[in-house]
Structure formats: C-alpha cells, structure tokens
C-alpha cells in the first residue's frame, strides 16, 4: 500500500506535519525528489525541527526512512542533519540511501550562486542550494551517482577531472571566479565514504521486497505542484518534478500500487520566490497575515525569507490537486485566520476582460486580476478543537466552500502547529 503526501500550491503548505502524523501508521517513509532546498517543519516531543534532506519519519523507531534515487543528495548536509538530530536527543533513525542517487557536489552550489549573481535583477529566486546545476548535470549525463563513491577510485578521479575541465572554462570566461581543484573535490568525496557506507544500498530492490510483504509505504513530496518543472509556473520552478506521479521514478515504485494521494493546502496562500502570484496581498494586510501564520510566522524554513502572502486561490489549488491526482486534501493553518472579520477566496482570474476558472500559463497569470468571493470570518481561536462540528459556523462554511471550489474532499484540517492539532473529517 502506497500513500503520497504532496503540495498543491507553491510549497510550504505544512506537509512535514502531515507526514510526521501519518508516519505513525507507516512502515517506510521515502523522499523521492528535490534536495536541501526546502524544509519541512515538525514540532514534537523532541522539540521543533526544520528537516531539509531527512524524511519526516526519522522521529519514529518503527520506520525505515529512505532517500530515493530522485533526490539531489548533498552528503555533507545529510551527515550534518543526522548528527544534529542525535545531538538533540532523537534516537538514531533507520536510514537508507539509494545507490542510484546522484551526489550534489560543492560546485553545484557555487554555480547556483554565481548564476544568480550574473542574472542580477532577473533572478529566479533560487535558494542557492545547487539544485538547478545538479539536475542540469544529471540530465546531461555528467553527474556522479553515489555508487561511484564505492567503486574504482581512479575512475572517479578521472570523471571529476573531466567535469572540472568544462566547468573551469565557464568559471574563467563567464563568471570570472576561482577554478575548481579536482583533487580537492575527490579527497572530500572519499572522506565521506566510510561514514556513508552503512546507509547506502539498492533501495529499489529493498522496496520490491517491502511491497511483497505488504509494507505500508509513505511518499513525502517536497515543494508543491506550482513549482513543478513541467506543470508549475515556469521558469519560477524547482528543477525536479514535485508531483506524486514522479514517485514511481524517484523512488522506483510501480504506479498501480498507489492508493491515496493527499494534497496539502494552506487555508490562505503563501509563496517564497519570484513569479506571478495572482491573489497576493501587500503592505500591512500582508504583514498581519504573515505574522499570524504558521508557528512563528510565515518565513521560509530553509532561507528565512519572509513569504509573500495572499488570499486562498481556488483556481491555483484546483489545478494543483488535479496534476497531483489528489484523492483527498489536508487543509492547514486554518487557526491563523481567526483574527479576520472577513476572508476572501479567489474563484477566478480576469484576463483581458474574460474571467477564467482554470489555471493558465505564466504569461497570462501576469495579466490576471483576482475575482474574489468574500466570506465572514469567525474571530475565534480554533486551537484545541478536535471535532469539525465544534468549529464556529463561519469556519465550517469556509472549509466547505473551499472543498466545493477545488472538487476534492478535505480529509484533514490542521488547526495548530503540534502533531495532535488536527481535525479528522
């Protein structure tokens, strides 16, 4: 049985909490795409954590946590994050890393920074984690699979030398930056080999056996549908697929085994990075929503950047649920809206006098004006409520209106940052 938890919007929807919660009833949790460029915030008995590479099941002793072949694997970040968990009292988690995963190299981070510098005011809003250069190399067949680290050292060194020849030309003539030292890169990689050895294996074969034993598998997506390379707001996307469907590729799982795809959605909209954002609000209105939102406000778990804020966008969310193949929705941080007398929901995009009820390509989004439906607020603190029927009538109406607009049932309603701040619908 395979479940997937994915984002339907721009990312930062609260997937970490849902994964942490559903990990209680799972045997295996898998990260199957992305890298250290996003963070999943989790609050539990051990404290508050922002996980970047680690799957969100690392806090349970009964789960096996896997980094699949589709992940951009930053070795140093992986080891640092693991050690940080243990130092804070978390028992050493059961971890497996696919030997087919590619290594995110130090030069990927450098090139990410250099390119954003070169673009200046035309930047894409990268987290500068090396993700785009990493995937560019992987698809150009100049990447370094993790299996190379455990193979012939001479072959690995020659591969690094060949890569550096090309990259040093760019560093000299495009970026005017210091050259790469292939021997230093090789030595750094080799230093990681023994610390990594206990975790690296053929995870595809492991999962084949797990499925034969009817293990409960949970896929954990990073970012959201609107950041997908193919179906997101291009070019303001990440460089891998953020969709549940990519789990078959990035984890090595058969698609017919997927049973439930949970799309996580905020009760309002937020966005880190550049690009069109039709329902965006500004000034004091945005500051109020940002400061009330989430646990400690709406700031990126990886970058610390203040998130752009907006009203709930039913057009974008309906699209996100569709491309994710959502069977149900988890609506998060509804408790953050209790300070408002009125709430708006974007139900259409007006483009050149025509109202669109579908999510158009990026160029049209820049021209779009939001069409809003205004609903009454509830002016009540919702934390601590565990039954939907006990919510104020206005809060119930807000949830049901969203459900009607996106066409997917809301199964989970999160009304606080802690693991048990949840209403099961």
Which phi and psi angles does 272 have, rounded to 5°?
-105, 130
> Could you give the dihedral angle defined by the CA atoms of residues 98, 47, 219 and 108, in that order, rounded to the nearest 10 degrees?
-50
Report, as residue numbers or ranges, the catalytic residues.
12, 40
CA distance 68 to 71: 6
Do residues 357 and 351 make contact, with C-beta atoms less than 8 angstroms apart? no
Q: Can you tell me the distance from the alpha carbon of 184 to that of 188, in angstroms, rounded to the nearest whole number?
A: 6
- Please tell me the distance from the alpha carbon of residue 220 to that of residue 242, in angstroms, as a whole number: 10
Tokens of 251: 């984890």
CB count within 10 Å of CB 44 equals 16
Burial tier of 187 (Cβ tally within 10 Å: 0-12, 13-18, 19+):
exposed
């Amino acid at each position: 049985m395979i479940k997937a938890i994915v984002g339907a919007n721009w990312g930062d929807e609260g997937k970490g909490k849902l994964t942490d919660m559903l990990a209680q009833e799972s045997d295996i949790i898998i990260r199957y795409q992305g890298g250290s460029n996003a963070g999943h915030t989790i609050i539990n008995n051990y404290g508050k954590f922002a996980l970047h590479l680690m799957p969100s099941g690392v806090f349970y002793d009964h789960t096996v946590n896997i980094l699949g072949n589709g992940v951009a694997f930053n070795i140093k970040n992986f080891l640092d994050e693991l050690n940080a968990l243990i130092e804070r009292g978390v028992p050493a988690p059961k971890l497996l890393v696919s030997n087919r995963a590619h290594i995110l190299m130090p030069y990927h981070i450098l090139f990410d920074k250099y390119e954003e510098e070169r673009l200046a005011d035309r930047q894409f809003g990268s987290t500068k984690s090396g993700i785009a250069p990493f995937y560019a190399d992987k698809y150009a067949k100049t990447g370094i699979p993790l299996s190379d680290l455990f193979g012939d050292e001479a072959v690995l060194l020659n591969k690094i030398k060949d890569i550096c020849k090309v990259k040093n030309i760019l560093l000299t003539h495009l970026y005017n930056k210091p050259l790469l030292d292939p021997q230093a890169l090789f030595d750094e990689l080799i230093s990681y080999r023994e610390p990594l050895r206990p975790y690296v294996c053929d995870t595809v074969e492991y999962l084949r056996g797990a499925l034969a034993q009817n293990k409960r598998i949970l896929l954990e997506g990073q970012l959201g549908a609107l950041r997908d390379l193919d179906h997101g707001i291009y070019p303001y996307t990440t460089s891998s697929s953020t969709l549940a469907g990519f789990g078959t590729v990035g984890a090595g799982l058969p698609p017919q085994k997927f049973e439930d795809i949970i799309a996580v959605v905020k009760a309002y909209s937020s966005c880190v990075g550049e690009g069109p954002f039709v329902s965006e609000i500004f000034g004091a209105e945005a500051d109020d929503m940002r400061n009330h939102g989430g646990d400690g406000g709406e700031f990126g778990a990886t970058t610390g950047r203040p998130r752009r804020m907006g009203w709930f966008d039913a057009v974008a969310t309906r699209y996100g649920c569709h491309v994710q193949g959502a069977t149900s929705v988890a609506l998060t941080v509804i408790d953050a809206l209790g300070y408002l007398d009125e709430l708006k929901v974007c139900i259409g995009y007006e483009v050149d006098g025509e109202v669109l009820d579908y999510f158009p390509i990026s160029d049209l989004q820049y021209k779009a004006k939001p069409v809003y439906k205004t609903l009454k607020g509830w002016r009540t603190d919702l934390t601590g409520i565990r039954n939907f029927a006990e919510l104020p009538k206005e809060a119930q109406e807000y949830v049901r209106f969203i459900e009607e607009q996106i066409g997917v049932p809301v199964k989970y309603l999160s009304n606080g940052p802690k693991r048990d701040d949840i209403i099961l619908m």
